[in-house]
Each structure stands twice: as structure tokens, then as C-alpha cells.
Amino acid sequence: MGVHTYRPAEGHGLAHNPFNAIVGPRPIGWIGTLAADGRRNLAPYSFFNAFNYTPPLVGFSSTAWKHTARNCADTGEFTWNLVSRDLLVPMNETATLSDVDEFVRAGLTPEASEVIAAPRVGEARVTFECRVTQQIELTDVAGRPSGAVLTVGEVVMVHIDDDLLVDGIFDTVRAEPLLRGGGPTAYFGIADGSRLDLARPRD
């Protein structure tokens, strides 16, 4: 048994880059924004996660200043929308760099937010309304710009479909979140059978 080792800067030497398959599966940030001129935009970002409880912070990283990051800089707002299994195909349809309104292209319902102007996905069973707290242009270890930008926002309003709340507890399995694996096509789901429970050690 050997170990495959590589320095990423010199290439991985494999059929596919394993990086995002290893750091996976990842939740998807399905991000709704408005452009400065009011045009709607929706796009998926799997370099996405939650980063803090209080205030609740979520963030996503864009490999370049695409529409979503630009709109966040211009308006200071975005929505996060849960991609459940049934939304796989429309979510994929929103991964377009063109100037179209991805809500229309994917046949999705733009729903008004309560405290921000950016639109939510009407079909999503959980949505967050977020205000941008930071945008950080990411660098390599030598401080050279990578072109990527990390956008972090505070969740200022949460909408949860009642069916996903069982005795006051959010039922993650029922929500059927779609998770992104590696390679060009892989997605994963979750199931009760793969659940483990363990309390944290007491200090």
C-alpha cells in the first residue's frame, strides 16, 4: 500500500482533482441577489458553509468576481436558499454566467424577502435573508491575489417550512439537502440510516 502525495502547485497527477471530493460532501449556497440596476440573479456555490452562531454567519467563495459577488458588493445583501433533492435540475440551470434572470431560466418563483430586497427561491424549503459583513479577496501563501473572493453575511431573517420542524427540532433528513461531491457531476444525499449520535466530552 502506498500513499499518493503531491504539491497542489505542481499538479495532482490524477484523472481528476481530488481536492473538493476530499473536502466533501459540501452544502450548497444557492445565492439570490439583485444587481445595482435591480436585475435578479441566482447561482449555486458549493464553496459554502456556516461560520458562526452569534451572529449567525454564512459565507461562500467565488473563483472570480462573478455576478453574485459583484451584486453582493453593490447591494450588501443576498439570500441563501436550501437545495433539496427535488431542486437538483433547476439549481443546475442557474449555474450560468450569462446575463439572464436565472429564476426565469430555471422556472423558479422569485419570492420577496421580508427585511432585504434580494429575492428568495419560492420553491426552497428553507431560506435565509443575509446582509454582507465582509468580502475578502483570497490570496495564496505568498500574498498573491488568487482572483477568488469570499463573501460572508449575517443571517438576519430565517424562513423554515413547518413540515421540517418536528417537536420544535429541525429535521435535516426530511429537508433532503443536496450535497456536492467532487468531480463534475457528483451529488450526495443524507439518510437516517447513516446517522450517528455522540455527546461531546465534558470539560
- Binding residue (CB under 6 A) for ligand FMN from 40, 66, 105, 174: 66
Q: Which part of the chain contacts ligand FMN (CB under 6 A), choosing from 9-17, 41-49, 107-115, 188-196?
A: 41-49
Q: Which is nearer to ligand FMN, 184 or 193 (CB)?
A: 184
Closest C-alpha among 19, 72, 14, 23 to residue 43: 72
Among 25, 32, 44, 119, binds ligand FMN (CB under 6 A): 44
Q: Does 146 bind ligand FMN (CB under 6 A)?
A: no
Q: Does 95 bind ligand FMN (CB under 6 A)?
A: yes
In whole angstroms, the minimum distance from the beta carbon of 169 to ligand FMN comes to 28
Beta-strand ranges (E) seen in the chain are 26-27, 29-34, 40-45, 48-52, 57-62, 77-81, 110-111, 120-121, 126-139, 145-160, 165-166, 169-170, 179-180, 187-188
Residue 127 binds to ligand FMN (criterion: CB under 6 A): no
Contact 44, 30 (CB under 8 A): yes
Region of 72-80, 89-97, 122-130, 153-161 interacting with ligand FMN (CB under 6 A): 89-97
Dist. CA 115–CA 183, nearest whole Å: 37
